[in-house]
Structure 1
Amino acid sequence: MIGRHIKPRRREEFKHDVCILYADDVYQWVCHTMLAELEVKRGLKLFIRDRDQIPGDDKPPELYDTMDDSWKVVVILTAGFLTSDFASTTMSMCLSFITMTTPNRLMLIMDSNVNIPTNIDFFLESVHEENIYRYDITNGGADDPRFWNNVYSGITAPNDNMDRIR
């Protein structure tokens, strides 16, 4: 019965191509470097909370709605994200967007300088390996075209295996 009447939404049906979830420790990298590479140069529609969210709207329902309005969800795992008050809630919410019809919706950019604690294995194991990108965010810039090409390809890739076959 699954798959017979349940069809995943297409990319053009979403308000944003990608919702970027991050902590304050990388907001400049997101709002400048990432924005320039993915939105300005490549034409994607990004949701960036520091630019697009109404101040004070950091409540779970608004976060959920933003993710629901986005083709893909990118979580940027940094030391600041992992120690933030909203990390656990955000990761739990992200898991609800990985379904049988959208198994590739969640992507991770992991700061290569961060030691990932073992208590988030449940989260990391839920994301397809091809959707996990390691990058030196603190020392990197817009000078790694291979990284940006990979992230762009991941964002524009189909969310489900059926789209890959079509």
Structure 2
Amino acid sequence: MTKDFLLSFPNMTSLALNNMGFDKETLRRGGSVLEGLETMHALRYLEILGNDIRYMDMGSIRTLISLNVSRNNLVSVPFENNDLPDLHILDLSVNSITYFDDDTMDMLESLGQKNKLVLRLKGNPLSCSCQSLLFVRWIFSSSVTFDSNGNYSCVTEYGALTTTHTVYNEFNYHWTSCQGRFWLPVSITLMCLIALLLVSAMLVSRNWTRIAHHILVLMGRGIQRVTRQNFNKDAYVAHSDEELQFVMQDLRIGLEDLLGLKLILPDRDFLPGPYVADHVVESINKSWKTVLVVSDDFLDDPWSYFIIKSTAYYISNLNPNRVILLMVGNVNRGRLPELLLNVTDEEDIIQLDDFPDPHSDVWVHVRDRILTQAVYVKCKICH
């Protein structure tokens, strides 16, 4: 069967190409057989039975009034809207059709109203599932004439065998069941969303001021960024009496004289008198950072916990990394207060194995940590 052979019969009106063993491309657009059929301008009756073809493009043979493509493997109608305007008989029996979509039903309905189309669907594995309910209703309300009066075997959503007539008679039941299957999870989801919105609204109403504050902070409004220039001193240095000589000599020379930092040293800058606590609080408040020279003696000093509490109090979102620990010697870190660890970054805990001299490189590292800019994140404990 070639194109040249078919060209020899331009006036043929009826043609049967049954059980020809056509492959899947034979009747696709561009195939030689289809090109030959397109030259038959008088062709009215066409049969292509038993060829196990899955796809056909019959829309170019516009003169057809009868098309029989039964006993193939078609999954839908082998032409599109207005391709076969004179079609009266369409035989799709014993194929692989499960149901027609809306566009296909509209096309066939138009042919039914215009040409009183006869459609044969017997022997197809039709579906009576939720997706095909409209197709089942269309069979019994269409102007198209169906073989077997439209009563075909079909398979339900649950795999049960029934008939289209039975499903049509129980259409409201099946429709309600299918809609309920869709709307039940939708309803549950909406109820959960409503409950979530109600809880959220309640929480927002109870914490509106706090939420508005965080929103304004995120937007950069209502907040004043702090820098080193907002403070009179670079650091307040707290220590125990045993580290006095180390602080007043090595630390002071290394950070102040050689590296140019402005420090508050208690034994030098505090006025004598009973107001030591006031001096501590004022010094922490006036300094960009607080440096704690931590040793076992410092942890034993009764003033150390007061200094730690005061330092933690002035930690805020604007300047959370405000504490630097200089660990002198082999300090038992298990004794460090958890409050202190909560407000101190790991990189701000600097180990001093001995009392370094003023020219040691460690003071450069300490200076860099003191001058580090504030990182605007939510700290662990802020006031």
TM-score (ref. length: structure 1): 0.87
Q: C-alpha displacement at 1:31, in angstroms? A: 0.5
**Alignment of 1:82 onto 2:296:** no
Can you give the 5+ residue segments of structure 1 that lack an aligned partner in the other structure? none
Question: Deviations 1:28-78 (Å, cap 9, x if unpaired)?
Answer: 111010111110011110100111111235532221111110111111111
Equivalent pair of 1:95/1:123 in contact (CA under 8 Å): yes
Equivalent pair of 1:29/1:137 in contact (CA under 8 Å): no
Once the two structures are superposed, the pairs formed by residues 15-164 of structure 1 within 5 Å of their partners are: 15-56=232-273, 59-118=276-335, 120-138=337-355, 140-145=356-361, 147-161=362-376
The higher-RCO structure (CA 8 Å, 6+ apart) is 1
**RMSD (CA atoms):** 1.9
Q: Which amino acid aligns with 1:79?
A: D
Larger Rg, first or second structure (1 or 2):
2
Equivalent pair of 1:131/1:154 in contact (CA under 8 Å): yes
Equivalent pair of 1:97/1:106 in contact (CA under 8 Å): no
Secondary structure of the structure 1 residue equivalent to 2:325: strand
Equivalent pair of 2:270/2:276 in contact (CA under 8 Å): no
CA distance in 2, matches of 1:64, 1:137: 29
Say how many residue pairs are matched: 160
Question: Deviations 1:123-158 (Å, cap 9, x if unpaired)?
Answer: 1232011111010244x333531x112101001111
Q: C-alpha displacement at 1:122, in angstroms? A: 2.8
Secondary structure of the structure 1 residue equivalent to 2:330: coil
CA distance in 2, matches of 1:99, 1:67: 13
Q: Between 1-10 and 34-43, report the one with greater CA deviation.
A: 1-10
CA distance in 1, matches of 2:289, 2:265: 13
CA distance in 2, matches of 1:57, 1:160: 36
CA distance in 1, matches of 2:292, 2:260: 20
Can you give the 5+ residue segments of structure 2 that lack an aligned partner in the other structure? 1-215, 378-383
Q: Which amino acid aligns with 1:53?
A: F
Question: Deviations 1:82-116 (Å, cap 9, x if unpaired)?
Answer: 01111111111111122111011111111132212
CA distance in 1, matches of 2:248, 2:290: 16
